[in-house]
């Protein structure tokens, strides 16, 4: 899977652009503020229906324009398009039709982002790591999105009743369904993490050969206690606090070096390589399970990495056989691999070199 054409109109500082990227390695370079990261952001928007740089959609619309428009044609033939109005209206199309869910975009265009902010996967709380797990489980099993959505709705309903301090019998009515969908969600997540470990081991041996990293899945509560019993036993406490303390919404991916969390034992450069290993392994698992590629976006690859580590990362990305978009200030920073196509960005204007 790859983008065969990308069209961008009135997005950030890009007035209009039309690219025909290569199926392999694509380098996008230019000065800071030129718009190179905006190209990656546009691709991300076409997959997720949102930006990775801001939660305010109006900020990505070019100044004094009423809307932005993004369009891509995939190598498999699918056509994806998004138009976002300044007043908030959002028009999403897949092959000319409105999808039932925004997640249908992600199903057609699976991608991974590696950026300076990717450190959040290791340094922030468990939410980012749950999202990482859920990305993999979503692409691995078509039932996942339904199970995940159902559990979230049940959790929201239970928490509302807890805040209202509703009678225990009324709250307990939801516990059986929560346990059913919570156990199902946990099995899907656990199965995916188990599949990740095989791919991750090989990549880590290349990136961090002398670092004994262990990856494990924490389901969000003591595995020795059935979830329905746990919800029942903790009901009085949950009522006092006003929210559900334990369950799949507290799941986490644990990464340790010996007995310490990886973030406490690795340098910044090593942490970035570990994040890259996780992202590449995630794409490899998708290829093994679904026989389809994952697209990689790498923003500011040179940040935090010396020349040897940049070379190692680019070589690993090249080995995936996937379409890759890398942004940089100077091409000389990344001259250690042959690029299939190179694009220069200057003040929002994009030209193929």
Decide: 178 and 232 in contact? Cβ < 8 Å. Answer: no
Which candidate, 120, 150, 115, places its Cα nearest to that of 132? 120
Residue 146 assigned as binding residue: no
Residue 37 assigned as binding residue: yes
Can you tell me the distance from the alpha carbon of 250 to that of 145, in angstroms, rounded to the nearest whole number? 18
| Tokens at 335, concatenated | 């001259």
Can you tell me the distance from the alpha carbon of 329 to that of 22, in angstroms, rounded to the nearest whole number? 20
Residue 30 assigned as binding residue: yes
Residue 342 assigned as binding residue: no
Residue 34 assigned as binding residue: yes
3 state SS for 62-105: CCCCCEEEEEEEECCCCEEEEEEECCCCEEEEECCECCCCCHHH
Decide: 232 and 241 in contact? Cβ < 8 Å. Answer: no
DSSP line for 168-226:
HHHHHTTHHHHHHHHHHHHHHHHHHHHHHHHHHHHHHHHH-TT--EEEEEE-SS-TTS-
Unique residue bearing structure tokens 């010996």: 258
Residue 32 assigned as binding residue: yes
Residue 88 assigned as binding residue: no
Decide: 13 and 305 in contact? Cβ < 8 Å. Answer: no
Decide: 67 and 10 in contact? Cβ < 8 Å. Answer: yes
Q: Which residues are annotated as a binding site?
A: 30-37
Q: Which residues are annotated as a binding site for ATP?
A: 30-37
């Amino acid at each position: 899977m790859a983008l065969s054409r990308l069209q961008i109109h009135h997005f950030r500082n890009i007035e209009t652009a039309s690219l025909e990227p290569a199926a392999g390695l694509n380098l996008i370079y230019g000065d800071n503020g030129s718009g190179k990261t905006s190209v990656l952001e546009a691709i991300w928007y076409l997959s997720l229906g949102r930006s990775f740089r801001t939660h305010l959609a109006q900020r990505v619309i070019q100044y004094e324009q009423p809307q932005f428009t993004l369009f891509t044609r995939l190598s498999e033939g699918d056509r994806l398009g998004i138009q976002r109005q300044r007043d908030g209206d959002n028009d999403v199309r897949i092959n000319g039709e409105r999808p039932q869910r925004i997640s249908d975009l992600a199903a057609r265009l699976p991608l991974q982002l590696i950026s300076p902010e990717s450190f959040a996967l290791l340094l922030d709380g468990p939410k980012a790591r749950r999202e990482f797990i859920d990305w993999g489980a979503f692409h691995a099993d078509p039932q996942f999105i339904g199970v995940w959505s159902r559990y979230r709705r049940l959790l929201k309903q239970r928490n509302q009743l807890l805040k209202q301090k509703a009678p225990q019998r009324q709250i307990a009515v939801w516990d059986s369904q929560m346990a059913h969908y919570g156990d199902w969600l946990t099995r899907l997540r656990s199965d995916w993490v188990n599949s990740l470990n095989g791919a991750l081991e090989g990549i880590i041996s290349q990136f961090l050969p002398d670092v004994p990293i262990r990856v494990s899945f924490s389901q969000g509560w003591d595995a020795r206690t059935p979830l329905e019993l746990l919800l029942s036993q903790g009901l009085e406490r949950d009522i006092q606090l006003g929210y559900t303390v334990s369950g799949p919404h507290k799941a986490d991916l644990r990464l340790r070096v010996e007995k310490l969390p990886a973030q406490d034992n690795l340098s910044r450069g090593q942490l970035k390589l570990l994040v890259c290993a996780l992202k590449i392994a995630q794409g490899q698992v998708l290829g093994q399970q679904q026989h389809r590629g994952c697209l990689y976006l790498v923003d500011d690859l040179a940040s935090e990495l010396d020349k040897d580590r940049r070379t190692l990362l680019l070589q690993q990305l090249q080995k995936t056989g996937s379409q890759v978009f890398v942004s940089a200030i100077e091409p000389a920073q990344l001259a250690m691999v042959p690029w299939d196509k190179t694009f220069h960005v200057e003040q929002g204007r994009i030209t193929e070199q």
